[in-house]
Chain A
Amino acid sequence: MLQQAEGSHAVAEAVALCRPDVVCAYPISPQTHIVEGLGELVKSGRLSPCEFINVESEFAAMSVAIGASAAGARAYTATASQGLLFMAEAVYNASGLGLPIVMTVANRAIGAPINIWNDHSDAMSQRDSGWLQLYAETNQEAVDLHVQAFKLAEELSMPVMVCMDGFILTHAVERVDVPEPTDVDAFLPPYSPRQVLDPADPVSIGAMVGPEAFMEVRYLAHAKQLSALEHIPRIAAEFEARFGRTSGGLVRGYRCDDAETIVVALGSVIGTLKETVDALRADGVKVGVLGIQSYRPFPLAAVRAALQGAQRVVVLEKSFCVGLGGVVSTDVRVALSGLQLHGYTVVAGLGGRAITRASLERMLKDAVADRLAPLTFLDLDWRIVERQLAREAQTRRSGPIAENLLRDVGTVAAKVA
């Protein structure tokens, strides 16, 4: 059913349609509206039977989900940023135990300094955890990916993170088609656990595994993710067949077929990039966009196939590996190993800094002209940076960096050129 809805609200409806048995709620911006929405659905009786639990921390949220999933319940929670880090131990635990929990991550920057706005650093910090990571480009895709995520998680018996950009998607009110309950029920069968805590058939879950078997266990987790490279497209195809639209999958190219320069990105910025590409194409520049929907497992073959025809690849990412540079670009380089392409890493939008079409156009023109440095930071104010570096070189107690920068910048929150 078509609705004019805030992204979070639409996701709450979508999750409710999947009939979760246990929902764990702990507030953190910008996902809070999702769990609030689910709470209201449970309390009003529209989502029933369902245990909605106000837990005492994110660590508890994931832990309660672990217990619930192990006991045969379909379990769900949502978090972001600091919350995701706080539950990091449990995140690894859930995937290590192979529990098909679905979690929404409303992508948000990680402090210090504390910052509630969008970038991908939170989900990226858990990219090695064994969880599958799916990225939504739009609110519609966010809704659709949650329905697919439960099916995917339960088929594989692995947890799935659905990532949607905080505020940009979660708090945007858009037209969304929320699926019909009968269609969701037909698409998503009841949860049938691969292993379950059951007095009639006791098992001990969570053994200590030593050097003699640990590598094998880890390889098996990897094998599961590799098999997901087939499950994901198949589930996306089943979804399209039933619900009539394209959502999810591994990658989606836009005007890539004859592109000489392809920009790779995750999440909502793909939309901005498509408009930028359209403008450049109108000027005859052969550019295209490759959106990655499945970040884990990383679709090496699909990425390589999409990019190998281009001359240059620009990875535009809202993530940053301090001391090295790009995160996603490093993964893309693995996909391209052996191919002679120009590769550029552009770090943008950290902490919610707006990514404008104008900036993107400028950047892409530089890229096409190969004027771009291998690693660049979109719209970074170098004056401030250099002034701070000079300050630190002179004085040992030069004061907190953020304060100094803000003083230099003025009272601007998001810099718009």
Chain B
Amino acid sequence: MDQQVKFYQTGTFTVGNRLLSPELRTVQASTARSNSLNSGHRACQGCGEALGARYAIDAAMRATSKRLIAANATGCLEVFSTPYPESSWQLPWIHSLFGNAAAVGTGIAAALHVRALKSGRTASDVRVIAQGGDGGTTDIGFGCLSGMFERNDDVLYICYDNEAYMNTGVQRSSATPPAARTATTMAVGAAPGAEFGKGKNVPRIAMAHEIPYVATATVADLHDLEAKVERAMTIRGARYLHILVPCPLGWGSASHDTIRLARLARETGIFPVFEAERGEVTRVSKIRRRVPVDEYLRPQKRFAHLFGANGHADMLQRIQDEADRNIRRFHLLDEGSAA
């Protein structure tokens, strides 16, 4: 009926679409989705990480036919999902420590492999995800992450990046962007907020390890995120997925703005969305309608000190320059589109 007309009202932008055949809709559109992170968890209203985790794990559950185990670092995701006596997780899940999610993942993968060999198979059909926030990944978990990468252990590591140590009260991490207010980079003094020139880009560090698959994503583009999880699950070896997840509490944004801000992060060029294999970028998610960084920064109180009568236009410009640089570097705009 609609084979010839490949136009579907909302196409790939919405979660589902009654005009699309079901296999073209997202995993989230289906009532058969795993709901791997189920209701009753204690995340804040509008939590981007809760959303990102369900998105990623549901997609992984489908890709692996529910043959999946997850290891979780200490942090918001772990704390709000498993306070005794209640767990929101529907899949086998383990929380060990803050800095060792990647190593625990390595251990689980090794165990599965040996058990498979012992029962006469060449490999296990059960796959492993290790996950944590930016604190547990880019800082305290960095050593274990790098070890997992260099050994090419068969683990997909997912970092839910809300750009600070949120669970302990919004302290700066190496993922905190310049100028952002946190409890340890307060918005006072001559250079308020997090300092420029610091910080770590873990996706690019992952690429430097030349692992089979590295990708970034946000909670604003569900189709893209699911496709990346699915792609990652077709690969054996070390894989890394870095998902931007806005935090209303820590970012000082309205709880309903979570997806909108994630969208703006890509559309400004601040957060490049791409895929890479063995150290080379293979695909880039182009900016659809470019906007200046102001639009992304204004709705977040953590950047409020940049605006207004006592604002810092120079810092704003530096942020814009960095976004421009990302756009150039990653070719985030279509040739011929308005810059």
A→B interface (CB under 8 Å): 21-22, 24, 49-51, 53-57, 59-60, 63-73, 75, 89-90, 93, 97, 197-199, 201-210, 212-213
> Is B113's CB within 8 Å of the partner chain A?
yes
Residue of A nearest to B145 (CB): A56
A208 to B84, CA, bound (A): 6
B82 touches A206 (CB 8 A): yes
A73 touches B111 (CB 8 A): yes
> Is B31's CB within 8 Å of the partner chain A?
no
A72 to B72, CA, bound (A): 18
> Which A residues lie within 8 Å of B95 (CB)?
204-207
A205 to B69, CA, bound (A): 11
A64 touches B84 (CB 8 A): no
> Which B residues lie within 8 Å of A210 (CB)?
83-84
A21 touches B107 (CB 8 A): no
> Which B residues lie within 8 Å of A202 (CB)?
89-93
How many residues of chain B get a CB closer than 8 Å to chain A's CBs? 47
A210 to B83, CA, bound (A): 8
A205 touches B68 (CB 8 A): no
A90 touches B90 (CB 8 A): no
> Which A residues lie within 8 Å of B99 (CB)?
59, 89
Q: Return B237 CB to nearest CB of chain A, in Å.
A: 15
> Is B71's CB within 8 Å of the partner chain A?
yes
- The 8 Å CB contact of B143, one of A22, A56, A209, is A56
Q: Return B186 CB to nearest CB of chain A, in Å.
A: 29
Asked whether A60 and B100 contact (CB < 8 A) given A53-B151, A71-B69, A205-B95, the answer is yes
> Which A residues lie within 8 Å of B68 (CB)?
199
B96 touches A71 (CB 8 A): no
A71 touches B111 (CB 8 A): yes
Residue of B nearest to A55 (CB): B147
Residue of A nearest to B99 (CB): A59
Q: Return B110 CB to nearest CB of chain A, in Å.
A: 4
> Is B29's CB within 8 Å of the partner chain A?
no
Q: Return A19 CB to nearest CB of chain B, in Å.
A: 10
A49 touches B126 (CB 8 A): no
A205 touches B107 (CB 8 A): no
A22 to B113, CA, bound (A): 10
Q: Return B91 CB to nearest CB of chain A, in Å.
A: 5
B110 touches A64 (CB 8 A): yes
> Is B97's CB within 8 Å of the partner chain A?
yes
> Is B78's CB within 8 Å of the partner chain A?
yes
Q: Return B215 CB to nearest CB of chain A, in Å.
A: 24
In addition to A60-B144, A64-B110, A201-B92, 20 A-B residue pairs with Cβ atoms within 8 Å of each other are A51-B110, A54-B151, A56-B146, A57-B143, A57-B144, A59-B144, A60-B143, A63-B100, A64-B103, A64-B107, A66-B100, A67-B103, A67-B110, A70-B107, A70-B111, A71-B69, A206-B72, A206-B78, A207-B87, A207-B95
